[in-house]
Amino acid sequence: MRETAGTLNRTWLAIIALLMILAGTAGILLSSGLAGSLAESSGIGISPVGPNEQVFPVAPGEVLNTPLAAIIVTVVAALVGLLALAWLSAQVPKRHQGDTFRLHGKQGSDGYTLCDPRVLASAVESETEALLGVASASAILRGSANEPELNLDIKMDDRAKVQQVIESVHRQIAPNLESALEVPLRKVAVLLNVTRRPSSDKTAVI
């Protein structure tokens, strides 16, 4: 399983939508003349331009013809390009292992035991690969010791029974991991890759 930039995309979409709404509202107020009435009634001391007045003192094209404007446009274009590259790199799915788990008893009086999630993931992989029809497995543990999440990527041959493998994961693999962590798993995600040929895979997401 891989993490995508869904939260980042939704955040930027919300910001862009808010800016567009504000710009549209400002345009409507200026074109209708309501901006001047609102400014006068609120007493803010600003006199917006009227519907028939010129917004800029000079034409925008004349401003862009200056050397300083060319430098500013170049810098802004470079910044936009860097932001675009950063956004594109964030779209690449990433596989993040969880931080080191701090395991302790109910009272915590006996201290803590630090455990690398990769150690537990390796044990889960070995146990999963022992299932009938499973060729290989890759496990990732995320979350915390109190709310762990298991992401399991299983490659199985075409003769294996999908339902049987899924039941084994939920009845054997997941409970054994919960016993080791002494807490229930918050989420169990399973990705099954059914392979008929070494060079051809069919993927089913459960």
Confidence class for position 27, pLDDT limits 50, 70, 90 = confident
Give the residue with greater pLDDT, 202 vs 138: 138
Q: Are 150 and 187 in contact (CB under 8 A)?
A: yes
193 and 123 co-located in one domain = yes
120 and 160 co-located in one domain = yes
Confidence class for position 120, pLDDT limits 50, 70, 90 = confident
33 and 112 co-located in one domain = no
Predicted structure pTM score? 0.49
Torsions phi, psi for 98 (to 5 deg): -70, 165
106 and 153 co-located in one domain = yes
29 and 74 co-located in one domain = yes
148 and 176 co-located in one domain = yes
Read off the pLDDT of each residue in 102-125 and give the average, rounded to a whole number: 73
Range of the domain at 146: 101-205
Distance, CA of 156 to CA of 168 (rounded, Å): 13
197 and 112 co-located in one domain = yes
Q: Is residue 95 part of a domain?
A: no
80 and 110 co-located in one domain = no
Q: Is residue 1 part of a domain?
A: no
Buried b vs exposed e over 49-60: b needs ≥16 C-beta within 10 Å?
Answer: eeeeeeeeeeee
Residue 55 predicted with pLDDT over 70: no
Query: Given 90, 110, 136, which residue is the final one in a domain?
Result: 90
Give the residue with greater pLDDT, 169 vs 194: 169
Look up residue 88 and give its two tokens: 């594109």
Per residue, what are the HEC states of 105-138?
A: CCCCCCCCEEECHHHHHHHHHHHHHCCCCEEEEE
Specify the pLDDT at position 115: 77
58 and 113 co-located in one domain = no
Read off the pLDDT of each residue in 153-182 and give the average, rounded to a whole number: 88
Instruction: Please write the tens of the pLDDT for every residue from 83-108.
Output: 888 888 877 665 555 567 766 655 55
- Cα Rg for the chain, rounded, in angstroms? 29
Give the residue with greater pLDDT, 63 vs 197: 63
CATH number at residue 176: 3.30.300.30
Query: Given 57, 90, 123, which residue is the final one in a domain?
Result: 90
Distances (CA, A) of 162 to 30, 154, 167, 204, 205: 63, 11, 9, 10, 11
115 and 174 co-located in one domain = yes
108 and 85 co-located in one domain = no
Distance, CA of 110 to CA of 105 (rounded, Å): 7
Mean of per-residue pLDDT scores for the chain? 78
Confidence class for position 78, pLDDT limits 50, 70, 90 = very high
Domain count, the chain: 2
Query: Of 51-65, 81-95, 117-131, which gets the smallest average pLDDT?
Result: 51-65
85 and 105 co-located in one domain = no
Query: Given 90, 124, 151, which residue is the final one in a domain?
Result: 90
